[in-house]
A and B are shown apart, each in its own frame.
Chain A
Amino acid sequence: MNTLASALALFALGGVLALLTHRSKRWATRFGVGGAVLGSLLGLWLSLPAAINNGVDQLSIQWSLPYGSFSLALDALSAFFLLPIFLLSALGALYGVGYQEHSKRRLGVFWFFYNGLVLSMVLAVTASNAVLFLMAWETMALSSFFLLTFELGDKEDHPAVREAGIVYLIATQLGTACLLLLFLLLGHTSPSLDFDALTASGAAAPAGVLFLLALLGFGTKAGFVPLHVWLPEAHPVAPSHVSALMSGAMIKTGIYALLRIMGVLGQPSAWWGWTLLGIGLASALMGVVFALAQRDLKRLLAYSSVENIGIIGLGLGLGVLGQVHGIATLATLGYAGALLHVLNHSLFKGLLFLSAGAVKHATGSLHLDALGGLMRRMPLTGSLFLFGAVAISGLPPLNGFISEFLLMLAALDGSAADGALLHAIAAIVLAGLGLIGGLALAAFTKAFGIVFLGEARTPQAAQAKECHPLMLASIFTLAAACVGMALFSWALLPGLAPLLDGLTNTSSQEALGEAASSLRIIAGFGAALLLLVGLFALLRRRLLRDREERIVGTWGCGYLAPSARMQYRSSSYADPLTRLFTGLLRKQEHRPAPTGVVPEPQRYERHSSDPARSLIFAPLHRLLLGLAIWLRPFQSGRVQLYVLYIAMTLLALLAFAFWS
């Protein structure tokens, strides 16, 4: 536990020193990055063994806050979620060195908030007291808010950054409001707000209500549909290593907290499982459809985070249903798939966001239709992005397939037990994941193909250069981790047994052993695939050794002067599929009819908008705004009035105390 405390101290020290030295860019970066990297390495060294062990490591410090105690606990669940946090913090910090090399802003402030975000994420995941947890949770929200608006005022996207910041702040505060209510109800009769002391039976509301509150509050952070509105706004405007950290690690704290509270609430009901399964499927499907329709690379990645959070939610749903129906394999493999997907998603989404940042760094744009042909200009970034794209589409031989396979196996294993309900689960999960996988393939061949393949669509893209070696090194580490996870997941999976035992309250050894033997064969297939590809490549080279390899123009079916503008664009590529989801995407077309004998030049526009934002959040915001305007007379800004309010409150409280 002292290791964790030292890691936390390193983050704090790094952040504060960076702030103090903000006049010198070099020193601020050194302190900020140094603190984040050293602290994370220390943390990884601590949390790797803790994630596969059974024990609970505790630390308590005297703290004089009512109901609060500064107590941290590190069990397998916390340690598991610490892994992506530490990994992405370290890599993001290293990446930042290259990414912000030429930034003219005060990097000391940036690194202060960066370290603050890491620190608060670690605290949120290890806190064992509700008050401490909420404070960490809010610090996390605020520091990430300052990070994502860090480039405010930069160039033309100023209004977009401001709006993204506000949307994020409002969404996250609404989530926290649910959490306050949750903990108030939960701690109603309990003497302290330590997680160990809280139980569902002592709460002032039925467990189902508490579950819904937790789902709303934590689901906002995680990005479940329809609470995901902030993700597609926030990720595109944030600096790329911040997007990677937020999407790879921060949204996972929502999943962590949901699991933690479900542990507090005790035995779940069947409808919790169905709710999670339904929300998971809806999030995954809607996320991937919207990802497919995007024209901005980081917006596409943000929607794909919604998709992957959905897949994780689906896994949690399977786990809960397995628990309720007493099917150990379904419960174990459902949770195991969800947890592995948490880790896998942080690896490949971190990779993709960091490479998207490299693209932005090199070309100044993330607009898909302004890019193209980058594979020949930036072969390393392009190849690494390809790894991420294959992994996130859930394709073998990479790690995305492993977790999706586990989820399908869970559903299939469940269906081996008799019961129409379980057959239905298997059908829903396999058909659903199949469709989602197919759409993800479409979305990521689009992202990869339009950005990196073909011909450059703008001069900027044609002049792109490979990025800073530290940026490449961070991206490469994540790609290597993706391959490693895929090839060695069979060895890692049984290590999750203590964690899963705690989640499911049954022995998970047997189910994990069976799944691991399947994963071992899959890893064998992965290795065989790599080998076979190498073999065919050699064979091809040998065949062509003495032959001519002519370099010609692309065959244009007889047309001799093709230009880069004639290539398929992002929206034309996605059109056959997005056309099928016109209703969901709320597509609007503006196509004025040509008039007159000689028509003027015409404009054609097409927009799609997120129904969660326009149908749910926009009316809610209007309602809140109306209330705020109504309350405004009370906020006059005069000190005398505020003193009066305080005095009146005191009087009222005294009267209340006197009467009762």
Chain B
Amino acid sequence: MQALALVHLAVALLAAPLLLSVINKTKAFFGGRQGPPWLQPYRELTKLLHKGVARSRSTSWVFVAGPIVSVAATALALCLVPLGVVPALVAFPGDFVLLAYLLGLARFFTVSAALDTGSAFEGMGASREVQLSALAEPGLLLAFVVLAVATQALSLTGLFARLGTDGGPALVLVFVALLVIFLSENSRIPVDDPNTHLELTMIHEVMILDHSGPDLALIHYAAALKMWLLGTLLIGVPLSPWVSDGFASLLLGVLAMFALAVLVGVIESSTARLRLTRLPQWLLAAFVLTAVALFVVMG
């Protein structure tokens, strides 16, 4: 099983940028366009890695550390997630807390790097980012509590391995809540629009306006990894009760990841962005869903 975990890690590290292609292709399909080539995200990463860097004279070493810490923390967090019943590389009681807080560390440095430029736009993005993440955090941790209570397990691996089909309605609620958090944390519509060209309305994209070259490549890569990471938690909920074989879980899991990307594309094509002032309510809804799920699980 440990070998499968390594395979999953390798697949995640390699295929994460492909999720963006799938989303973009889906959106292109809905728009009646052909869309960028499948390997476009990889081409962009290589292009950026071959470039020099332009750095603002307002910045300090924190600006450089931002992308580095965030990619390192996200990659390490990836060692903690199982894919369905494929175990995580490392599992221990309470590992999901470490997972959530590693993402927090990445956020701390991304936000600091944004503030380091002294730009009003990036300050605005940073301010919104910390608001949304502070509100998403309790929902995410509560979702784990629901799963832990339902399965009597305390590590992500144990939790997904023991998830049964009898969880029913609670699992549906948790799935929806995690989807809301997934969209919010990955800056997708209806929370944030990665394609917007108006700095005033962006959240994640506006924080990285000043990054260029390899730094920007690291940021994009870290964002792709984060999407994979949160995606596995999301698809694990419907996947693991039905698939008990490790190899099948790996295969179906990867397929499900791309299906999730299609779902994100469909959502992005069919819904509009929420108004910024509505976002706290949107995240509160996720929290309420998990709270209801907790009551269902507790019986």
Q: Is A580 engaged at the interface, CB distance under 8 Å to the other chain? A: yes
Chain A residue at smallest Cβ distance from B120: A566
Q: Are the C-beta atoms of A537 and B214 separated by less than 8 Å?
A: no
B145 lies within 8 A of chain A by Cβ: yes
Q: Is the CB of B118 within 8 A of A577?
A: no
Bound CA–CA A289/B109 (angstroms)? 21
What B residues does A555 contact at CB under 8 A? 56, 117, 119, 209-210
Contact yes or no, B72 A532, CB < 8 A: yes
Q: Within 8 Å CB of B298, what residues of A?
A: 420, 423-424
Task: List 12 additional A-B contacts (Cβ < 8 Å) besides A453-B60, A533-B72.
Answer: A395-B105, A401-B98, A415-B148, A430-B138, A433-B141, A438-B137, A525-B76, A552-B57, A555-B210, A562-B119, A568-B120, A576-B128
| A575 on interface, CB distance cutoff 8 Å | yes
| Residue of B52, B112, B215 contacting most chain A CB atoms (<10 Å) | B112
Chain B contact residues: over half helix, strand or loop, or mixed? helix
Q: List residues of chain B with CB within 8 A of the CB of A412.
A: 93-94, 145, 148, 154
Within 8 A of A (CB), among B59-80: 60-62, 64-65, 68-69, 71-73, 75-76
State the CA gap A442–B140 with chains docked (Å): 17
Other-chain contact of B130, A445, A537, A562 (Cβ < 8 Å): A445
The reply to whether the CB of B126 lies closer than 8 angstroms to some CB of chain A is yes
Q: Which residues of B contact A518 (CB under 8 A)?
A: 92-94
CA distance A420 to B294 in the complex (A): 10
A433 to B144, CA, bound (A): 14
Which residues 83-106 in B have Cβ within 8 Å of A in the complex? 90, 92-95, 97-98, 100-102, 104-105
Nearest CB of chain B from residue A471's CB, rounded to whole Å: 20
Asked whether, in the complex, the Cβ of A548 is within 8 Å of the Cβ of B52, the reply is yes
Interface mask (A548-577 → B, CB under 8 Å = 1, otherwise 0): 111111111100001010111000111111
* Chain B hits for A372, CB < 8 A: 118
User: What separation, in Å, do the CA atoms of A450 and B130 have in the docked complex?
Assistant: 14
CB of A540 within 8 Å of the partner chain: yes
Contact A432 B118 (CB under 8 A): no
Cβ of B196 within 8 Å of any chain A Cβ, yes or no, is: no
Q: Provided the pairs A372-B118, A562-B119 are in contact, do residues A544 and B140 lie with their beta carbons within 8 angstroms? A: no
A577 and B53 form a contact (CB under 8 A): no
CB distance from B52 to the nearest CB of A (A): 4
5 of the cross-chain contacts (CB-CB < 8 Å) are A409-B154, A412-B145, A453-B60, A543-B214, A550-B55
Which B residues lie within 8 Å of A416 (CB)? 152, 154
When distances are taken between beta carbons in the complex, the residues of chain A under 8 Å from B115 are 445, 449-450, 453-454, 568, 573
A573's partner among B76, B108, B126 (CB-CB below 8 A) is: B126
Contacts of B133 in A (CB 8 A): 438, 441
Least CB distance from B126 to A in Å reads 7
Known contacts A395-B104, A427-B294, A544-B52; is A434 also within 8 Å of B138 by CB? yes
A528 at the interface (CB under 8 A from B): yes
Q: Report the Cα distance A557→B121, complex, angstroms.
A: 8
Chain B contact patch, size range? 35 or more
Question: Which chain A residue has the least Cβ–Cβ distance from B109?
Answer: A390
| Residues of A contacting B98 in the complex (Cβ-Cβ under 8 angstroms) | 396, 401, 405, 522, 525
A454 & B116 in contact (Cβ 8 Å cutoff): yes
Give the residues in chain A near B297, CB-CB below 8 Å: 423
B13 contacts A by Cβ under 8 Å: no
Q: Once bound together, how far apart are the Cα atoms of A438 and B140, in whole Å? A: 12
Residue of B nearest to A552 (CB): B54
A454 to B58, CA, bound (A): 6
How near does chain A come to B49, taking the closest CB pair, in angstroms?
7
Contact B68 A537 (CB under 8 A): yes
Q: Does B131 contact A (CB under 8 A)?
A: yes
Q: Which residues of A contact B (CB under 8 A)?
A: 372-373, 375-376, 379, 382-383, 386, 389-390, 393-397, 401, 405, 408-409, 412-413, 415-416, 420, 423-424, 426-427, 430-435, 437-439, 441-442, 444-445, 448-450, 452-455, 514, 517-518, 521-522, 525, 528-529, 532-533, 536-537, 540, 543-544, 547-557, 562, 564, 566-568, 572-577, 580
8 Å CB contact of B105 from A390, A431, A564, A574: A390
Please tell me which one of the listed residues A389, A528, A544 contacts residue B53 in the complex, with CB atoms under 8 A apart: A544
How far does the alpha carbon of A393 sit from the alpha carbon of B107 in the complex, in Å?
12
Q: Which of A401, A431, A566, A567 contacts B145 (CB 8 A)?
A: A431
Q: Which residues of A contact B55 (CB under 8 A)?
A: 549-552
Q: Is B287 in the interface zone, CB < 8 Å from A?
A: yes
Contact with A along B255-299 (1 / 0, CB 8 A): 000000000000000000000000010000001000100100111
**Residue among B93, B112, B128, B141 making CB contact with A453, cutoff 8 Å:** B112
**Chain A proximity mask over B197-211: 1 for CB below 8 Å, otherwise 0:** 001000000000110
A393 to B105, CA, bound (A): 9
B253 CB–A CB distance under 8 Å: no
The answer to whether B108 and A393 touch across the interface, beta carbons within 8 angstroms, is: yes
Contact check: which of B101, B154, B287, B291 meets A437 at CB < 8 Å?
Answer: B101
Smallest beta-carbon distance B125→chain A, Å: 10
Min Cβ gap B218→A in Å is 7
Complex: how many Å from CA A396 to CA B69? Answer: 12
Q: How far is the CB of B207 from chain A (nearest CB, A)?
A: 11
Give Cα A415 to B144, complex, Å.
Answer: 12
Look across to chain A and name the residue whose beta carbon is closest to the beta carbon of B115: A449
Residue of A nearest to B154 (CB): A412
In the assembled complex, the CB of A433 is this many whole angstroms from the nearest CB of chain B, namely 8
| Residues B148 and A572 in contact, CB atoms below 8 Å apart | no
Q: Does residue B134 face the partner (Cβ distance < 8 Å to A)?
A: yes
B163 at the interface (CB under 8 A from A): no
Q: How far does the alpha carbon of A449 sit from the alpha carbon of B126 in the complex, in Å?
A: 10
- Are B94 and A409 neighbours in the complex by a CB distance under 8 Å? yes
4 smallest CB-CB distances across A and B, nearest first, come from: A568-B123, A438-B134, A454-B118, A449-B115
**Which residues of chain B are near A444, meaning CB under 8 Å?**
108
- The residue in chain A whose Cβ has the minimal distance to the Cβ of B146 is A427
Are A547 and B108 interface neighbours, CB within 8 A?
no
CB pair B130–A442 under 8 Å, yes or no, is yes
Q: Which residue of B lies closest to A530 (CB)?
A: B72
List of B residues within 8 angstroms of A437 by Cβ: 101, 104, 137
CB distance from A50 to the nearest CB of B (A): 31
Give the residues in chain A near B90, CB-CB below 8 Å.
521, 525
CA of A510 to CA of B54 in the docked complex: distance in angstroms?
Answer: 55
In the complex, the chain A residue whose C-beta lies closest to that of B155 is A518
CB-CB contacts of B12-31 with A at 8 A, as 1s and 0s?
00000000000000000000
Q: Nearest-CB distance from B46 to chain A (Å)?
A: 12
Distance in angstroms between the alpha carbons of A382 and B104 in the assembled complex? 20
- Residues of B within 8 Å of A430, CB to CB, are 97, 138, 141-142, 144-145
- Identify which of A382, A408, A441, A525 contacts B60 (C-beta below 8 A): A382
Q: Given the known A-B contacts A375-B62, A413-B93, A448-B112, are A434 and B209 also in contact in the complex, defined by CB atoms under 8 Å?
A: no
A423 touches B149 (CB 8 A): yes
Q: Which of B75, B149, B154 has the most CB of A within 10 A?
A: B149
Check B69–A435 contact: CB distance below 8 A.
no
Note all chain A residues with C-beta closer than 8 A to B138: 430-432, 434-435, 438
Q: Which residues of B contact A547 (CB under 8 A)?
A: 51-53, 213
CB A480 to nearest CB in B, in angstroms, measures 19
B111 interface residue per 8 A CB criterion: yes
A457 → chain B closest CB, angstroms: 10
Contacts of A552 in B (CB 8 A): 54-57
CA distance A435 to B119 in the complex (A): 28
* B116:A553 contact, CB within 8 angstroms: no
**Cα–Cα distance between A439 and B104 once the two chains are bound (Å):** 11
Question: Across the interface, which residues of B come within 8 angstroms of A550, CB to CB?
Answer: 52-55
Q: How far is the CB of A338 from chain B (nearest CB, A)?
A: 17
Task: Tell me if B72 and A529 are in contact (CB < 8 A).
Answer: yes
Q: Report Cα–Cα, A533/B102, bound state, in Å.
A: 13
* B131 & A396 in contact (Cβ 8 Å cutoff): no
Complex CA–CA separation, A525 to B77 (angstroms): 9
B127 close to A574 (CB less than 8 A): yes
Chain B residues near A540 (CB-CB < 8 A): 64, 68, 214-215, 218
Q: Which of A409, A533, A577 contacts B134 (CB 8 A)?
A: A577
What's the Cα separation between A578 and B298 when bound, in Å? Answer: 34
A550 to B73, CA, bound (A): 28
